[in-house]
Amino acid sequence: MGKLSWSITAKHFVNCNCDYGCPCQFNALPTHRNCCAIVVWDIEDGYFGDVKLGGLRAINTYAWPGAVHEGNGALQTIIEERASKEQRLALNAVMQGQDAEPGQIMLAIYRAMCTTVHEPLFKPIELEINVEDRKARLRVPGLIDTEIEPILNPVTKAQHRARIDLPMGREYHLAEVASGRTRASGSVPLEFTNTHAHLLHNTMTSGGVAA
């Protein structure tokens, strides 16, 4: 069977355990030497081969004992339970970067750096993402609780706005930076507060990141 092309256009956010800005975005080692993150997608339009993916939500949780490129990571995918059987299979493939051009997208790169891949979960996913306001709220009952908010000036409490521009990025080209907190249980437990987050709206395909 040959490769299947795929594409997802989505609002998307990440919350990891690094300080604001995340050294990993600049080819530096993570703040605390290890890397843990939650990656969330609210898909507006998409497909995997002939399977339509628009209107679905999906999450990956990751944990590496060191930097991502050092490997030995663990991955857990959570897919919205209302997806059909065909959509579940297709979306799980997308979340692992299946059939992607080698080295072109973060989903495939991250999967290659994980030696432990847990079976996907199918759960209700409560999700709101506002990229412009740098806010998001995620809840998977009994499993994940995440909140993303703007970074605040420590003196004036005014909102601080910063962006990361990566013209050759494997996840995005331009993202809004924010502050996040996540608590997740399950096979890949996570817990961090006031750590790096970024939000964006873009299209990721099996051939690379689209503008």
Give domain status of residue 150, yes or no. Answer: yes
The per-residue pLDDT for range 104-142, each reduced to its tens digit, is: 999 999 999 999 999 999 999 999 999 999 999 999 999
Tokens 């991250």: give the residue: 110
pTM: 0.96
Residue 188 pLDDT class (50, 70, 90 cuts): very high
Q: Which domain holds residue 194?
A: 6-210
The per-residue pLDDT for range 46-100, each reduced to its tens digit, is: 999 999 999 999 999 999 999 999 999 999 999 999 999 999 999 999 999 999 9
Give domain status of residue 1, yes or no. Answer: no
Give domain status of residue 149, yes or no. Answer: yes
Residue 1 has pLDDT above 90, yes or no: no
Residues in the chain: 211
What backbone phi and psi angles, to 5 degrees, belong to 186?
Answer: 95, -155
In total, how many domains does the chain have? 1
CA distance 58 to 42: 7
Mean of all residue pLDDT scores within the chain: 97
* Cβ contacts of 45 within 8 Å, gap of 6 or more: 7, 8, 9, 53, 54
Mean pLDDT, range 199-210, rounded to an integer: 96
Give domain status of residue 13, yes or no. Answer: yes
Give domain status of residue 99, yes or no. Answer: yes
